[in-house]
Amino acid sequence: MFNDRLLLGLKGTMSEAELHVLRARLLGGIRNKAARGELRRGLPVGFVWGDEDGEVRFHPDEAVCVAIRTVFARFAELGSVRRVWLWLRTEGLSFPMQTRYGGGVRWVDPSYIAVYHVLTNPVYAGAYRAAADRSPAIAARRARRSTRSPTWSAAGRARRPRGAAPDLDQRRVEGVGGP
């Protein structure tokens, strides 16, 4: 009877270790794909995947692209996410929202968080990042305490269309988030 429990305990420990090995291999594959630029994750509103690996194109609906460009233009003029959001609401403009699983774009009333995500998303500035070294929750907690940017194991420039976010640099993207 003692040997049976010992054997079951050992099998349980081995299967738990095997799960860790499988997870490590899967994450390694994701990181390798990201380093090659072949990882296709969800794109923010205003962009769609092209035919080639890593190719990003503007959304075919011109109204979506105009709405995103308007947000960046107003932010350059007004200098505040809140002011841009209030301007969109006072003008009565709708804002494009990406539906999940490639369902298209629907037009909604602009929310502060949607405008904030557009202005702080590095994809609009042309950065490609994947496989963050920390989980998003841990990175967010540490970002509140520190001004250092998180480190990514795969980062680079996305092959995006020219003029996606005019006159936008990394300092501007980091400046929106605040301390």
pLDDT given at position 34: 79
Q: What is the mean pLDDT of residues 129-136?
A: 52
User: pLDDT category, 139, cuts 50, 70, 90?
Assistant: low
The full DSSP string for 66-104 is HHHHHHHHHHHHH--HHHHHHHHHHHT--EEEEPGGG--
**Residues of the chain with pLDDT > 90: what percent?**
36
pLDDT tens by residue, 18-55: 999 999 999 999 888 878 877 777 788 888 888 777 77
The pTM score is 0.60
User: pLDDT category, 74, cuts 50, 70, 90?
Assistant: very high
Rounded Cα gap, residues 104 and 106, in angstroms: 7
